[in-house]
Structure 1
Amino acid sequence: MRVLIAPDKFAGTLTAVQAAEAIARGWGRRSPDDELDLAPMSDGGPGFVDVLHAALGGDLHAVTVAGPHGSPTPATLLVVDDVAYVESAQACGLHLTHGEGVETATSLGVGELVAAAVDAGARRIVVGLGGSGTNDAGAGLLAALGATSDVALDAGPLALAELTTLDLAPARALVAGTRIVVASDVDSPLAGLFGATKTFGPQKGLPEDRLAAVDGLLEDFAAVADRRLALAKGAGAAGGLGYALMLLGGERRPGIGLVSDAVGLAERARAADVVLTGEGAFDFSSRSGKVPYGVAETAAEALRPCVALAGRVLVGSREMRALGVEAAYSMVELVGEERALGQPAEALADLAERVARTWSRE
């Protein structure tokens, strides 16, 4: 029997690569003769570069960039032929802010990564967005690439309060001739009720009583930069990094679709008898461009069943079917929360072994 293993990261505990290996280890204990095909996945957020490096090879370039509050932060640029892959979370991820100081956090380091990609000779730069701790409309990124203004662009959204001028010409000149692809699972516009601030601000530590004010700062920024583009799907991704990249001519693509194409997921699903996916919390928000939904869609097109393994399963059978998943299994239900969090790889392997009892033909 052939089994395709295509999980996302289990946020805070396992990378996608580690999750795939743990599932394979557990499944193999129960069904050692099954053929296991590991295809760790990403939607553009944390783990984006690792997943693509595992699938595509290429050269990893170590870069030190400015973190969200200015501290030197290590990051990695993946270069495959003339294509560079950048993971924004490495430079401005939520794990670097710990949910604090979002009003002064900057995306400057992401711009430095893009500049490093240009210096490396990339003709195409794919920027994975997701898991950010910033909400500055990408002003910091633009500053790193040469944009200028009458206010500091690299000091977070709070510094944008008095902005009246913005010159993007130097930044656009720097990336001229380079195709920019925005890999994101988020459809939000930059501002408004469903924009970056009101949708994702609270999870980044922005207090409820500051949401309207910070959202207004992003609206004011857009009024100077490009109000129409601020309404585009994905402009609100990663606190507005999607918007900044679109200002430079970036073209948005769903992150899960881009990674699926890169790893040849459709062909690998057709060669499998069952497809396994997973993430830390499997809930109905998984439908919004998340890995399990994207993998399930690919499995359905290949007429193969898709099974999810997760830290927690927060949907019922009806919602599960709507997501295209035949069955979902929870680590917490099997081994308890303490072990699921304290020994995630072992717990996931145990869960995979249990799932194999039902889904393997052995």
Structure 2
Amino acid sequence: MRVVLAPDSFKGSASAVEVVAALARGWASVRPDDELVARPMADGGEGTLDAFEVAVPDARRMPVRVTGPDSRPVDAHWVLLPATATRPTTAVVELAATSGITLLEHPAPDDAHTLGFGEAIAAALDHRDAAGRGVEQLLLALGGSSSTDGGAGALRALGARLLDAAGDPVPLGLRGLDSLATVDLSGLRALPPGGAVILGDVDNPLLGARGAAAVFGPQKGVVDIDGADAALAHLASLLPHVDAATPGAGAAGGAGFGLLAAGAVMASGSRRIAEAVALASALASADLVITGEGRFDAQTAAGKAPAEVARLAADAGVPVAVVAGSVGSSAPAEGLAAIVELAALAGGSAAAIARAEHWLEHAGAELAGRLG
């Protein structure tokens, strides 16, 4: 058999590269002669940089020190993709690596911010090669955020001025949005010739019942959801050239909205990454594809990596198996060849998280036995 391994990361437990390796070990323990094709995936959240690094020849990791989401310095990186006949020189910057929730030492949901994400974008814009040429396109990966600041921190790092009624800079984070009186974008950094593309994994608007505060705020410890939504609405009122209802504007605590204000455009993160890793070509001669993520539920269908893998597999007529840390009752299971839940194998979610790679190996072996 030829089996393509195309999972997303299991957030907080294993990167997509580690998930692929563990599944491969498990499968090979049962069927050692099968061909296993690694195509680690992402959808714009945590692990996007890893997916590009693995998939794109000569991709370069570019170190950068930024202000983390709780204002401590963070050593991060962005990825430089060399130009090809079909792609300009491109910088990939990931919010999770610069302003992500895993970087918070002491969670403070009203103070967490995206300043570091903007600083990394600025560093990518400042990059020059030996001939003095800069990057020609930005890919901005959202997901895994710590904040609900509407992208205000990133805008500040890129040259915007966010001022109170006295003309002073407002505090970083959600806390500062209430005192905003002026958002001046006149000093905003220019985008490269190929523009900036937002790689998002959700289609939520900025405001309302499906907005950044209501849906993602509780995951980050935001207590006053209505107050947070009102603060984001106030920010949106000062940037009337951006439609707060744009699908994806609510991604990453509203960072999608802030990037739209800076001139970026929204795209499907999983679709762009599938193109980068040449997933469709890998599936063309495959007998099976195994995908997965930490939580497989109703949100998967809204642009998550396994949904994109399943779409391409359906086009190629390839059966799909899913491995997930946990599976929700509303998970899109129709048409799948198999679903393996690590929590069921391990006897609970905590045990599955603690030894994710161990149980991923078991999942790979179980699928080899059932589907091989």
TM-score bracket, shorter-length normalisation: over 0.9
* Partner residue, 1:3: 3
C-alpha distance 353-104 of structure 1, shift in aligned 2 (>3 A): same
Read off the aligned partner of 1:126 and give its amino acid letter: L
* Partner residue, 2:161: 148
Count residues in correspondence: 354
Matched, 1:94 2:101: yes
Q: CA deviation at 1:355?
A: 1.1
Deviation track 1:150-188 (CA, whole Å, cap 9, x = no partner) reads 2335611211212221111211x4325351000001111
Deviation track 1:30-76 (CA, whole Å, cap 9, x = no partner) reads 00110000111001111110111010131111101001111001111
Once the two structures are overlaid, the 10-residue window that deviates more, 19-28 or 56-65, is 56-65
Taking the TM superposition and a 5 Å limit, the aligned residue runs for 1:195-234 are: 195-207=211-223, 210-226=224-240, 228-234=242-248
Once the two structures are overlaid, the 10-residue window that deviates more, 154-163 or 65-74, is 154-163
Corresponding residue SS for 1:278: strand
* Partner residue, 1:60: 61
* Contact 1:99-1:133 at 8 Å conserved across structures: no
Aligned partner of 1:259 among 245, 270, 273: 273
Q: Distance in 2 between matches of 1:27 and 1:63?
A: 38
Q: Distance in 1 between matches of 2:204 and 2:26?
A: 38
* Contact 2:178-2:231 at 8 Å conserved across structures: yes
Matched, 1:187 2:198: no
Q: CA deviation at 1:99?
A: 7.9
* Contact 2:170-2:180 at 8 Å conserved across structures: no
* Partner residue, 2:85: none
* Partner residue, 1:31: 31
* Contact 2:109-2:221 at 8 Å conserved across structures: yes
TM-score in terms of structure 2 length: 0.91
Q: Distance in 2 between matches of 1:35 and 1:85?
A: 31
Q: Distance in 2 between matches of 1:142 and 1:220?
A: 16
Read off the aligned partner of 1:17 and give its amino acid letter: V
Q: Distance in 1 between matches of 2:125 and 2:184?
A: 20
* Partner residue, 2:371: 359
C-alpha distance 161-335 of structure 1, shift in aligned 2 (>3 A): closer
C-alpha distance 319-147 of structure 1, shift in aligned 2 (>3 A): closer
Q: Distance in 1 between matches of 2:233 and 2:140?
A: 23
Read off the aligned partner of 1:358 and give its amino acid letter: R
* Partner residue, 1:117: 124
Matched, 1:168 2:185: yes
Q: CA deviation at 1:339?
A: 4.3
Larger fraction in helix: 1
What RMSD over aligned residues (CA atoms) do the two structures have, in Å? Answer: 1.7
Corresponding residue SS for 2:205: coil
Matched, 1:314 2:328: yes
Q: CA deviation at 1:4?
A: 0.3
Corresponding residue SS for 1:231: coil
C-alpha distance 98-315 of structure 1, shift in aligned 2 (>3 A): farther
* Contact 2:300-2:332 at 8 Å conserved across structures: no
Q: CA deviation at 1:129?
A: 0.3
C-alpha distance 21-176 of structure 1, shift in aligned 2 (>3 A): closer
* Partner residue, 1:72: 73
Q: Distance in 2 between matches of 1:311 and 1:176?
A: 39
Deviation track 1:272-293 (CA, whole Å, cap 9, x = no partner) reads 0111011122222211111111
* Partner residue, 1:328: 339
Q: Distance in 1 between matches of 2:13 and 2:242?
A: 39
Q: CA deviation at 1:119?
A: 0.9
Deviation track 1:96-151 (CA, whole Å, cap 9, x = no partner) reads 23682111111100100110110112110101000101111111101101111323
Read off the aligned partner of 2:333 and give its amino acid letter: M
Q: Distance in 2 between matches of 1:192 and 1:320?
A: 29
Structure 2: 5+ residue stretches without partners: 83-88, 128-133
TM-score in terms of structure 1 length: 0.94
Deviation track 1:178-211 (CA, whole Å, cap 9, x = no partner) reads 510000011111112211111110001001xx11
Deviation track 1:315-356 (CA, whole Å, cap 9, x = no partner) reads 47x9400xx422201222223235423322121111211110
Matched, 1:341 2:342: no
Matched, 1:301 2:315: yes
**Percent of residue pairs bearing the same amino acid type:** 37
